[in-house]
Structure 1
Amino acid sequence: MNAQAATGRSYWLDTLPPGDPAPAPAGDFEVDVAVVGAGMAGLSTAWELTRRGYGVAVLEADRIAAGVTGHTTAKLSAQHTLIYDRLRRTRGTDGARLYARSQTEAIHRAAEIVGDLGIDCDWEDTAAYTYAQDRRRIPDLRAEAEAAREAGLPAEYVTETELPFPVAGAVRVADQAQFHPRKYLMAVADAVRRGGGQLYEGTRVLGLTEGEPCVLTTEEGIAVTARDVVVATHYPVFDRALLFTRLAPRREVVVAAPVDASKAPGGMYITPEHRTRSVRTAPYADGKRLLIVTGERFNLGVGQDVEERFATLTGWGQRTFGELSISHRWATQDNDSTDSVPLVGLLHPASRHVYVATGFGGWGLTGGIMAGRLLCDEITGQESPWSELYDPRRITPVLREGARFLRHQIHVARHFVGDRLPALTRPSLDELAPGDGAVVRIAGRGCAVHRDEDGRLHAVSARCTHLGCLVAFNRAEQAWECPCHGSRFAPDGQVLHGPAVRPLEPRDI
């Protein structure tokens, strides 16, 4: 199958597709803890709490483990590219050690769960590498290896890898892992149910009233009363903490192809070069391994040609690993916090019973498992040694995140203000090709217009329902995307990805 014919569904969803949906709640109900979002962070939190005897309900707007978690590259690693030298400088030696310990314990926790529940999820122990081909990066790699060792990881600087090309250097960290995330999480979801937890799909939460107790309101008007609430929706759907000022969404494309097992590189690899390149393999049929290549990071909703991104990544894979028959391709989305550390804990300074888990920066599997344990400890009144490190209420010095914070705010402001200025040019509807979409001005209003493959036009409001930035069309994935905070919508305006929770309104053209 070539790149053009490859499925848009991720390999994880293709090999374990969603079955019959869990029903939405039939009426109002009460529970000890309500968890919003059924990805790695949400289900890990639910599993930890049910094990301690808490009544838990998980409310998922779409399908369990089918969102960001279902589109990951599925690495379980405490080596997050070049992070430990940065943490050593911004958080000190103790902060870097806490980060390494919390992420390493997350890997061990996942291994325990796999063993305890007997999960067949293609678990493989392996090493993680952060590499570079540019020799000017060697000092950075050496500093990272030293900082990672100092933080307690089994890290070393090496110059040889199993990649089919030479590298200038690499940081190798042993005792990491990779797995099939949906096989893992669907088994965890079953364990939550067996423990008395309730899981609801197709249940979008629109409102939150904080208090003792808290009340969540769903799209269907159902009220869920809970002593504690966990918001684990990847990008928080509630803005009262203004966390969107500290989160920068980005997207990357993924291509996958079967290769002979004898030619598959061992280990998990990532480089910050070439707009990121991430490589790993997974078990496949007929004596082959599935090569999974990720990269070509881009900002959402800024008019970039995503089809070109897929072509560039595929071309790199072909040049690097030889002729590839692409079997799957998809895209994944991540949120980077402006100080490189996830935000896990109480939602804002006045919160007493509402918690959040976000900002994992591309490492949401170990981060989500870590978040589940941390939030469970906080909700049950136990101390976590790294709660202060991840606390969303932390006051971050300007020197720590100032430059990244300002860059993100300038990017958002450019769209938030610029999108409200009269446009100089707009395509005419006659110029819109089948399968394409564009924002056009009709009767003084911005309309997001899509022409389907049959030639019919469909129009919705061009204003994102989160904070009103203008959306742009991603032809490769057939979605409207917001450049400010990463919300995504189907061509008919239905929400695909938050923080927006309401669809784009239909427009009559």
Structure 2
Amino acid sequence: MDTHGGIRGSYWMETAPPGAPSPAPAGDLAVDVAVIGAGMAGLSTAWELVRRGRSVAVLEAGRVAAGVTGHTTAKLTALHTLVYDRLRRTRGAEGARLYARSQSEAIRHAAGIVGDLGIDCDWEEAAACTYAEDPQRAGELRAEADAAREAGLPATFVTGTELPFPVAGAVRVTGQAQFHPRKYLLALAEDLRRSGGTVYEGTRVVGLEEGEPCVLATDAGVSVRAGEVVIATHYPVFDRALLFTRLSPRRELVVAGTVEEERAPRDMYITPEQSTRSVRSAPYGDGTRLLIVTGEHFTPGTADAEERYARLWAWTADRFSGFAPTHRWAAQDNDSTDSVPLVGRFHPGSRHTWVATGFGGWGLSGGVMAGTLLAGLLDGRPADWAGLYDPRRLASVVREGTTFLKHQAQVARHFVGDRLPPVTGPAPEDLAPGQGAVVRLGGRQCAVHRDDSGQLHAVSARCTHLGCVVAFNQAERAWECPCHGSRFAPDGGVLQGPAVQPLEKRDIRTAPPGEE
């Protein structure tokens, strides 16, 4: 798909086979386990459970592996930037060891699945490296290498890399992997079907009644009765656990293009500097590899994405000679307040509802880990690290109180500020094709967009999740909520949760007063 001057969208979406059609259910269902979400965490969990003899239905609002997983950088690694020194301080040495073990086992498990099923997904073993160019950060990297090594990873501190620019130092961990995530998941979904599981696309879950059994309501009016429910929608679409107070969404941009094979890095690199720079390459053919660079993270609805894309393009072209742009896309991640994903029982009172969220940009290894962890929990055989990831944990939230309070203050500013009269913006008639803005019409805050044909479209500017006012991302033609990351199409349709209801349409000619 051409998205911008000949530059195409997600490479993973473009190059994966379409997969078997998975229509919405024709009628009500009853299964042992209903899994909401067909990304890495959801499909991994469903696959594990089907292999254990459970009847499983996967319910996906869009298409299989077409959400966050279809727009990732596609790395499987246990080295998550600078997490181990932090974990050693906040969760103790044992917590850091459990984190390293669980993530490393996930990589080995995924490699085993690729081999056992014969999945053609461009699997390559590579080292993962966290680097810095600033000499003042060398001490930080040495501490991370020590902590990662103490946690059980084969980590070393190095001062030289294959990158075409000097670094002050890097933490290097061997035995990691990179692959084509959508090819992997489409093959996993097909094997799940062969084993008796079912996958339903275009089926948005909008309601949950917990009980014995649990009952799920869908936007098509079909209900699903299940003994157990797993919520794997990246950001939970139900608020009863109040996990939105412990998750902060961030959007990251990805640019990709070809470089000569001998110029392409074979290992995977990331730095926390410059609003993140993640670099790796993938097979492409004809003596080239696809260079994939990620960075410029920001809270949805708070930045000029086009400007940030320009920065990322410029950085990549400056650092990698011969770079020829081909693709660009964006991904969205959710960070937990204590840097550890939330995988386990949905809330303190839940008996049959489970969740997997808060992967903080590492949802591929985290999703495989979540699949095995949740399958074990449902079987009554919890893994050694179940307590580390338990969403009901409180002690670590207290230790990370500063991060928690900072996130809540940011959300509070939007709740309060969004209810004040907005600064005067462009009038609807002044919007150029492709532009959008929040304007006040007849006393209402309306999100107004002019499409490429010149037609104006208006919807409510209030996010249907908790009521924050959305902002327009012109680069991606989407309305975004800065509070919890919900995203909507220009016509108000839900692109990404936690919202499950569309933005209400408004008549731009006769928008009546009444909404504040």
Shorter-chain TM-score range = over 0.9
Determine if contact 2:91/2:396 at 8 Å carries over to the other structure.
no
Residue 24 of structure 1 is matched in structure 2 by 24
The equivalent of 1:331 in structure 2 is 330
How many angstroms apart in 1 are the aligned matches of 2:461 and 2:480? 10
Match in the other structure for 1:98: 98
**1:393 match: secondary structure:** coil
Q: Which amino acid aligns with 1:231?
A: I
Report the alpha carbon displacement of residue 264 of structure 1 after superposing the two structures with TM.
Answer: 0.8
Tell me if 1:248 matches 2:234.
Answer: no
Per the TM alignment, residue 22 of structure 1 is displaced from its structure 2 partner at its CA by 1.0
**Is contact 1:234–1:358 with CA below 8 Å preserved after alignment?**
yes
> Where in structure 2 are the equivalents of 1:359-398 lying within 5 Å?
359-397=358-396
CA distance in 2, matches of 1:473, 1:424: 15
User: Is there any run of 5+ residues in structure 1 with no aligned partner, and where?
Assistant: none
CA drift at 1:19: 4.9
- Name the aligned partner's letter for residue 104 of structure 2: T
The alignment of Structure 1 onto Structure 2 pairs a total of residues equal to 508
Matching residue's letter, 1:107: I
Distance 1:448 1:338 in 2: 31
Structure 1 letter corresponding to 2:426: P
Which residue pairs with 2:439 in the alignment?
440
Q: How far apart, CA to CA, are the structure 2 residues paired with 1:110 and 1:424?
A: 51
Per-residue deviation, residues 400-422 of structure 1 (Å, max 9, x unmatched): 21111111111111111110112
The aligned counterpart of 2:227 is: 227
> Cα deviations across residues 58-85 of structure 1 (Å, max 9, x unaligned)?
0000000000000000000000000000
- 1:246 and 1:398 map into 2 onto residues whose CA distance is 8
Q: Which residue of structure 1 aligns with residue 46 of structure 2?
A: 46
Structure 2 equivalent of residue 141 of structure 1: 141
After TM superposition, list the pairs within 5 Å mapping 1:450-461 onto structure 2. Answer: 450-461=449-460
Q: In terms of mean alpha carbon deviation, does 398-407 or 157-166 score higher?
A: 398-407
Give the Cα–Cα distance (whole angstroms) in 2 for the partners of residues 30 and 446 of structure 1. Answer: 42
Partner of 2:13: 13
Whether contact under 8 Å (1:50, 1:196) holds in the other structure is yes
Name the residue aligned to 1:65: 65
1:77 aligns with 2:77: yes
Distance in 2 of aligned mates of 1:389 and 1:297: 27
For residue 385 of structure 1, give the secondary structure of its aligned residue in structure 2. coil
Question: What secondary structure, in the 3-state scheme, does the structure 1 residue paired with 2:182 have?
Answer: helix
Deviation string 1:116-159 (CA, Å, 9 cap, x unpaired) is: 10001000011000000001101110000000000000000000
Q: What is the aligned-residue RMSD (CA, Å)?
A: 1.3
SS at match of 1:80: coil
The structural deviation recorded for 1:2 is 11
Q: Deviations over 1:29-69 (max 9, x none)?
A: 10000000000000000110011111000000000000000
Q: Which residue does the alignment assign to 1:499?
A: 498
CA deviations 1:462-506 (Å, max 9, x no partner) are 000000000000000000000000000000000000000000010
Identity of aligned residues (%): 71
- Which amino acid in 2 is paired with 1:461? S
Which structure 2 residues correspond to residues 292-371 of structure 1 after superposition, within 5 A? 292-302=292-302, 304-371=303-370
CA contact (8 A) 2:2 2:9 kept: no
Query: Once the 2 structures are TM-superposed, how far is the Cα of residue 287 of structure 1 from its aligned partner?
Result: 1.6
Report if the CA contact (8 A) 1:3-1:327 is conserved: no
Distance 1:348 1:6 in 2: 46
Find the aligned partners of 1:485 and 1:217 in 2 and give their Cα distance.
Answer: 23
Contact 1:463–1:470, Cα closer than 8 Å, also in 2? yes
Q: Sort the Cα spacing of 1:3 and 1:340 in 2 relative to 1 into closer, same or farther, 3 A.
A: same
Give TM-score scaled by structure 1 length: 0.98
1:397 positional shift? 4.6
1:257-278 residue CA offsets vs partner (Å, 9 max, x unmatched) = 1111111112000000000000
Cα drift, residue 6 of structure 1: 4.1
SS of match in other structure, 2:458: strand
Query: Could you tell which deviates more after superposition, 482-491 or 428-437?
Result: 428-437
> What does the per-residue CA deviation read over 1:221-249, in whole Å, with 9 as the maximum and x for residues that have no partner?
11100000000000000000000000000
Whole-Å separation in 2 of the counterparts to 1:500 and 1:289:
38
Q: Residue 229 of structure 1 aligns to a residue in which SS?
A: strand
Kindly provide the amino acid, as one letter, of the partner of residue 219 in structure 2: E
Retained in 2: the 8 A contact 1:3–1:326?
no
1:334-359 per-residue CA deviation (whole Å, 9 max, x = no partner) reads: 00000000000000000000000000
Deviation, 1:384, is 1.0
Aligned mates of 1:417, 1:143 — CA distance in 2: 41
In structure 2, list runs of 5 or more residues that go unmatched. 509-516
Residue of structure 1 equivalent to 2:283: 283
Alignment of 1:119-138 (within 5 A): 119-138=119-138
Provide the C-alpha distance between the structure 2 equivalents of 1:126 and 1:321, rounded to a whole number of angstroms: 20
Contact 2:2–2:8 (Cα < 8 Å) also in 1: no
